[in-house]
């Protein structure tokens, strides 16, 4: 007698042994795998759009936009492709990518004149000792109207308090750099061959941090002598060092150097920089600039640990102060033994500024390994360099670069030691770790504990580097990443012959996110299936159009009726 299969609520054949049933793949897991293979976001955000003219409601899936492959591989890969397009478009430009600003209108000029009159009356009231609250509110409203009228920025500038600065005199152990007169251009030199062909070379530069001890396959040979403290501080302030390098590069180059750079992890888990530079310079000059670049961190000293264990500063909102509380503070941290007020962040910096013998907390420099390559537009080298720039953008700094590496266990231990070195290292002026060294963090508040900073620099996936992974100068392509994305979308819609529905009346539609507790929310599996079907139809249509453009036989698309483009 043959067993008749018994339907099961979970879709499995109950006549099969449990051990076999447990090895069958889950249908949802397969749906997610298919979505990945088709480039569909696996964590879509469901939004409902209400048409205020018709009263109809539609649901849309918005990609999550993750940049890390561990969260959403399709979205991470899509962002990486956008970065590649952004890098390629701006690297070897032969014209200035600067848009001319629109001339001011009569209404805009009238608003500025009105703002000047109100400011004068406000200043007069302040001189007479009158209350200026009403005037300040009126000025805030006028400033909002100024921005709404098509003007950007703040008419009074962005900084209300003077910037704290120290002497800009160069260190004696740093070589001097030449300074050339700056030309108002973002383009580099061109070279004309004997046949009249014009070449416009650019540079690809790789910068690394110095050595902290011998390593083998990315793992310290002797962890006890590896300088984890220096490695942690270099990672924390690496972004500032890159800024200094760009400043020095522009001083020496003599033109407004534009760059596209990415920060990536080395095998030893230290950040290093790949930088595409528009224009060219002698290699010796670039290496000299890297050798002369440094950044001094003028922060209070952390040599002495004053509070640890159960002996930690206590918070008080009723502390007696001779001066008002600093901005953003409603209390003070006190020494638990003496009741003494700990110095605030500004007070600690003031004390550091008056000490003529003070030394910076840390000085960060690049290592001796500086690679400089010349690259021509459209060459295989250019494509290879763009690949280097975007290779690890979808990985976190703490991810192992080779999952099959036999030294993975040792590398995990190396990463653990690095995270432990970062645990009590102050990452910013607002870091709670300053309490460990007897200084109140900037904007201190109740509940701060040393070693419990929530800043991303202390997390294992960042390993000290809290800056942006992609650094793009303002005049690289004169486009934001959003504009590059719109260009790619417009190309696809044009190829498919579809209208761009994003150009609509902004007051017609009302968008609302769908709560996870909404009983009418569409299940994730159903949304993934819809997006996969849409993607397949779109791909089939593009294949058909490509075949017609190439004069090839048109494939049979009868199985893919209709056409929709994913949101």
278-312 per-position pLDDT tens digit: 999 999 999 999 999 999 999 999 999 999 988 99
Pairing of strands 314-316, 362-365: unpaired
| Cross-strand partners of 199 | 191
Distance CA 330, CA 445 (A): 7
Structure confidence at residue 566 (pLDDT): 37
- Model confidence at 318, pLDDT cuts 50, 70, 90, reads confident
The dihedral formed by the CA atoms of 537, 542, 546 and 548, expressed in degrees to the nearest 10: 60
Distance CA 399, CA 56 (A): 46
67-117 per-position pLDDT tens digit: 999 899 999 999 999 999 999 999 988 888 876 778 888 888 898 998 899
Structure confidence at residue 561 (pLDDT): 46
What is the pLDDT averaged over residues 381-385? 90
Distance CA 186, CA 256 (A): 5
- Model confidence at 5, pLDDT cuts 50, 70, 90, reads low
Whether 397 contacts 462, CB under 8 Å = yes
CB within 8 A of 266, min separation 6: which ones? 208, 218, 272
Structure confidence at residue 250 (pLDDT): 93
Residue 40 predicted with pLDDT over 90: yes
453-467 per-position pLDDT tens digit: 999 999 988 999 998
Highest mean pLDDT among 62-66, 435-439, 558-562: 435-439
SS3 call for 32 = helix
Structure confidence at residue 411 (pLDDT): 86
Would you put residue 206 in left (φ > 0), alpha (ψ -120 to 50) or beta? beta
The closest alpha carbon to 536, from 16, 40, 3, belongs to 40
Which token pair is 337?
A: 């033994």
Distances (CA, A) of 174 to 237, 294, 544: 18, 8, 62
The closest alpha carbon to 332, from 345, 341, 322, belongs to 341
Distance CA 504, CA 230 (A): 54
Whether 72 contacts 548, CB under 8 Å = no
What count of residues does the chain have?
A: 567
Distance CA 16, CA 72 (A): 34
Structure confidence at residue 81 (pLDDT): 92
Q: Degrees (nearest 5) of the Cα angle 200, 204, 205?
A: 140
Distances (CA, A) of 409 to 218, 270, 459: 12, 18, 19
Distance CA 200, CA 449 (A): 55
What is the pLDDT averaged over residues 525-536? 90
- Model confidence at 563, pLDDT cuts 50, 70, 90, reads very low
Query: What whole-number percentage of the chain has pLDDT above 70?
Result: 89
The closest alpha carbon to 268, from 68, 470, 463, 67, belongs to 463
Pairing of strands 215-216, 219-220: antiparallel
Q: Which of 202-206, 411-415, 444-448, 486-490 has the lowest mean pLDDT?
A: 486-490
107-157 per-position pLDDT tens digit: 888 989 988 998 998 888 888 888 888 888 888 888 888 888 888 877 776
- Is the pTM higher than 0.85? The answer reads no
SS3 call for 420 = helix
Structure confidence at residue 273 (pLDDT): 94
Residue 504 predicted with pLDDT over 80: no
Structure confidence at residue 520 (pLDDT): 87
């Amino acid at each position: 007698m043959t067993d008749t299969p018994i339907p099961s609520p979970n879709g499995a054949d109950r006549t099969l042994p449990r051990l076999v049933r447990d090895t069958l793949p889950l249908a949802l897991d397969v749906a997610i795998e298919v979505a990945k293979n088709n480039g569909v976001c696996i964590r879509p955000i469901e939004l409902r759009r209400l048409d205020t003219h018709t009263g109809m409601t539609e649901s849309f899936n918005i990609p999550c936009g993750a940049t890390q492959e561990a969260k959403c591989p399709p979205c991470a890969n899509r962002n990486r492709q956008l970065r590649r397009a952004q890098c390629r478009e701006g690297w070897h430009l032969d014209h200035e990518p600067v848009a001319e600003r629109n001339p001011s209108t009569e209404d805009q000029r009238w608003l500025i004149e009105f703002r000047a009159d109100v400011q004068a009356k406000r200043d007069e009231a302040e001189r007479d000792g009158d209350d200026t609250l009403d005037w300040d509110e009126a000025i805030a409203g006028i400033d909002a109207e100024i921005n709404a009228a098509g003007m950007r920025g703040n008419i009074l500038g962005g900084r209300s308090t003077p910037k704290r600065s120290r002497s800009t005199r160069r260190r004696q152990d740093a070589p001097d750099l030449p300074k050339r007169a700056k030309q108002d251009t973002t383009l580099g030199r061109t070279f004309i061959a004997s046949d009249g062909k014009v070449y416009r070379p650019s540079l690809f530069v790789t910068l690394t941090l110095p050595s902290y001890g011998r390593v083998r396959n990315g793992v310290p040979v002797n962890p006890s002598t590896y300088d984890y403290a220096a490695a942690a501080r270099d990672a924390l302030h690496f972004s500032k060092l890159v800024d200094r390098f760009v400043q020095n590069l522009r001083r020496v180059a003599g033109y407004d150097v534009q760059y596209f750079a990415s920060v990536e992890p080395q095998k030893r888990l230290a950040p290093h920089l790949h930088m595409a530079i528009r224009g060219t310079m002698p290699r010796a000059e670039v290496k000299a600039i890297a050798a002369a670049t440094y950044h001094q961190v003028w922060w209070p000293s952390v040599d002495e640990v004053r509070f640890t264990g159960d002996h930690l500063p206590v918070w008080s909102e009723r502390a007696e102060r001779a001066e008002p509380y600093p901005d953003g503070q409603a209390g003070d941290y006190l020494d638990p033994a003496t009741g003494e007020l700990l110095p605030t962040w500004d007070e600690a910096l003031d004390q550091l500024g008056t000490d003529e013998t003070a030394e910076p907390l840390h000085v960060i420099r690049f290592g001796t390994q500086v690679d400089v390559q010349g690259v021509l537009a459209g060459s295989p080298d250019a494509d290879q360099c763009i690949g280097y720039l975007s290779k690890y953008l979808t990985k976190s700094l703490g991810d192992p670069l080779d999952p099959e590496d036999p030294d993975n266990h040792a590398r995990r231990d190396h990463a653990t030691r690095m995270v432990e070195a970062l645990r009590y290292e102050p990452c910013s002026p607002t870091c709670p770790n300053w309490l460990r060294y007897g200084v109140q963090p900037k904007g201190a508040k109740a509940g701060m504990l040393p070693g419990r900073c929530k800043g991303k620099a202390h997390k294992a996936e960042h390993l000290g580097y809290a800056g942006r992974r992609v650094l793009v100068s303002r005049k690289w392509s004169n486009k934001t990443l959003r504009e590059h994305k719109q260009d790619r979308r417009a190309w696809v819609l044009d190829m498919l012959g579809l209208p761009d529905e994003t150009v609509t009346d902004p007051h017609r539609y009302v968008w609302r996110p769908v709560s996870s507790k909404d009983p009418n929310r569409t299940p994730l599996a159903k949304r993934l299936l819809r997006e996969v079907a849409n993607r397949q139809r779109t791909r089939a249509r593009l294949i058909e159009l490509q075949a017609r453009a190439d004069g090839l036989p048109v494939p049979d698309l009868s199985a893919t009726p209709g056409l929709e483009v994913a949101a």
